[in-house]
Amino acid sequence: MRNLYDLFQKKVFNIEPGLERIKSALKEFSNPEKNFKSILVAGTNGKGSTSAYLESLFRHYGYKTGLFTSPHLIRENERWQIDRKEIDDKKLQNYINELKPIIEKYNLTYFEACTLLAFKYFSDEKVDIAVVEVGLGGRWDSTNVLEPEISVITNVSFDHMHILGNTLLDIAYEKTGITRQDKPAVIGRNQPEIIHWLKERKIKEYYVKDIDYFVKEIDFNKYDYKFKKHIFENLEISMLGKRQLENSSLALTTFLLFLDKNNQPVVENIIRKALYNTKWKGRMEIISKNPFIIIDGAHNEEGLIKTFQEIKEIFPNKKIFTIFSFMKDKDTEKMINIIKQNSDFYIAITMPFSRAMTAEDFKNVGIKNVKENHLEAVKELKNSVDKDTIILITGSLYLIGEILKDGWNTFSK
């Protein structure tokens, strides 16, 4: 079977700001993006998990859901889901064949082509609502052709500065580009840079964590929640890490706001079930207990810091052996320092992507222990760890994808 990215060869990671190409391409198919309601999710960290919580809430309530996320971890089909089921191979192939002339006509980037396919698929399948994760930034991202019911921004921190800008204010300007003056926005962290641009953009209605909705942590996976008249005590999630308290409460606020706007009842037991049942691969995921291996797709400075913090809180007094890889366009020196400071031992991995750091790149920033094969690295570490050691694999969602693709059962053999 041919994948969509096969059409792009080395152009897979091309990023070309602007909405004209995607608008022209969508017009060729009578603007399918106008045929379903949507929630648009932007932010530096937590977009995927927040989107997963939102999709689960809508689906458990009986809505037919579309979910568009990136990147994929194992199969490209993951990017396009309906009712949390990936598009099947035959349908994907048919869409690729149908869209190929338009992709070439307007010289779409890979992500623009993914977006086009998502909106056509969701329209054809008549979804009730689509939860759509922004690819990069917001203002010029191809997903921003939608007119979302609610815009969601998880947070802003430093990532993709060569495109989004070198200050949090610059980055927040790009992220808040997904908001609409006459539609509500929900913000997952009270950051002045985000609030500044919401006011500048004259957004009439927005809700911010710790100002408009409140979370009281009980445990690493339990919390009390309050928003307007809605109070939930002892909400429980199954995903690991305090970040997920932030992500799930942001999704819950967005969902409750949607229910309020659409005069829908709040059914507490459905909400509890939806939050607890939410899964998202590659985020603080335990893939083996002998040896103990955690994979986490943290791929920027803030994400890495939180990953180490959470592992130390949940598993105190454990040694951490880290296997990592980075993309070249990250602040790699800072990220390497975080790994050095928090790891008892570490190995860098090279990957077969043009954006990935090479062995030479790693050596230039002082990393001598570099391997080309992630399986060899895991097998080497598993033979040297004891029950008081955790192997952490992190630094890139692409590395996590390679690990999952190979199947973690090989690690315990």
Instruction: Say yes or no: 126 and 200 in one domain.
Output: yes
Residue 238's domain is classified under what CATH number?
A: 3.40.1190.10
* Contacts within 8 Å (CB) and 24+ apart, 193-198: 193/156, 193/168, 193/169, 194/153, 194/155, 194/156, 196/169, 196/172, 197/169, 197/172, 197/173
Cα Rg of the chain (Å, integer): 21
Q: CB burial class (10 A; 0-12, 13-18, 19+) of residue 317?
A: exposed
Instruction: Say yes or no: 225 and 336 in one domain.
Output: no
Confidence (pLDDT) at 10:
47
In the numeric block, the tokens 């969601």 are attached to: 152
Helix (H) or strand (E) holding 199: helix 192-200
Confidence (pLDDT) at 413:
44
Give residue-wise pLDDT tens across range 69-120.
Answer: 998 998 999 999 999 999 999 999 999 999 999 999 999 999 999 999 999 9
Confidence (pLDDT) at 409:
53
Instruction: Say yes or no: 198 and 219 in one domain.
Output: yes
Out of 276, 306, 327, pick the residue that ends a domain: 276
Instruction: Say yes or no: 8 and 73 in one domain.
Output: yes
Total number of domains in the chain: 2
Range of the domain at 387: 285-412
Give residue-wise pLDDT tens across range 155-203.
Answer: 998 766 566 777 999 999 999 999 999 999 999 999 999 999 999 999 9
Confidence (pLDDT) at 332:
81
Q: Residue 109's Cα: distance from chain center in Å? A: 20
Spatial distance between the Cα atoms of 120 and 26, rounded to a whole number of angstroms: 8
Q: How many CB atoms sit inside 10 A of residue 128's CB?
A: 15
Instruction: Say yes or no: 226 and 162 in one domain.
Output: yes
User: Which residues contact residue 328 at a Cβ distance below 8 angstroms, ignoring those fewer than 6 apart?
Assistant: 355, 356, 357, 361
Instruction: Say yes or no: 69 and 104 in one domain.
Output: yes
Confidence (pLDDT) at 158:
75
E strand spans, 174-243: 185-187, 206-208, 213-219, 222-227, 230-236
Out of 231, 254, 276, pick the residue that ends a domain: 276
pTM over 0.85: yes
Residues in the chain with pLDDT values less than 50: 10, 12, 412-413
Instruction: Say yes or no: 240 and 332 in one domain.
Output: no
Confidence (pLDDT) at 249:
98
How many residues in total does the chain contain? Answer: 413
Residue 351's domain is classified under what CATH number?
A: 3.90.190.20
Dihedral sign for Cα 228, 233, 238, 239, please: positive
Instruction: Say yes or no: 236 and 376 in one domain.
Output: no
Residue 36 phi/psi, 5-degree rounding, is -150, 155
Give residue-wise pLDDT tens across range 389-407.
Answer: 999 999 988 899 888 887 5
Instruction: Say yes or no: 85 and 150 in one domain.
Output: yes
DSSP assignment of 108-148: --HHHHHHHHHHHHHHHTT-SEEEEE-SSSSTT-GGGGS--
Residue 389 phi/psi, 5-degree rounding, is -125, 135
Strand order in the sheet with 222-227: 213-219, 222-227, 230-236
Confidence (pLDDT) at 13:
52
Out of 222, 244, 276, pick the residue that ends a domain: 276
Instruction: Say yes or no: 72 and 46 in one domain.
Output: yes
Confidence (pLDDT) at 2:
66
Instruction: Say yes or no: 315 and 341 in one domain.
Output: yes
Spatial distance between the Cα atoms of 186 and 310, rounded to a whole number of angstroms: 25
CB 136 within 8 A of CB 42: no
Q: How many CB atoms sit inside 10 A of residue 168's CB?
A: 20
Instruction: Say yes or no: 320 and 369 in one domain.
Output: yes
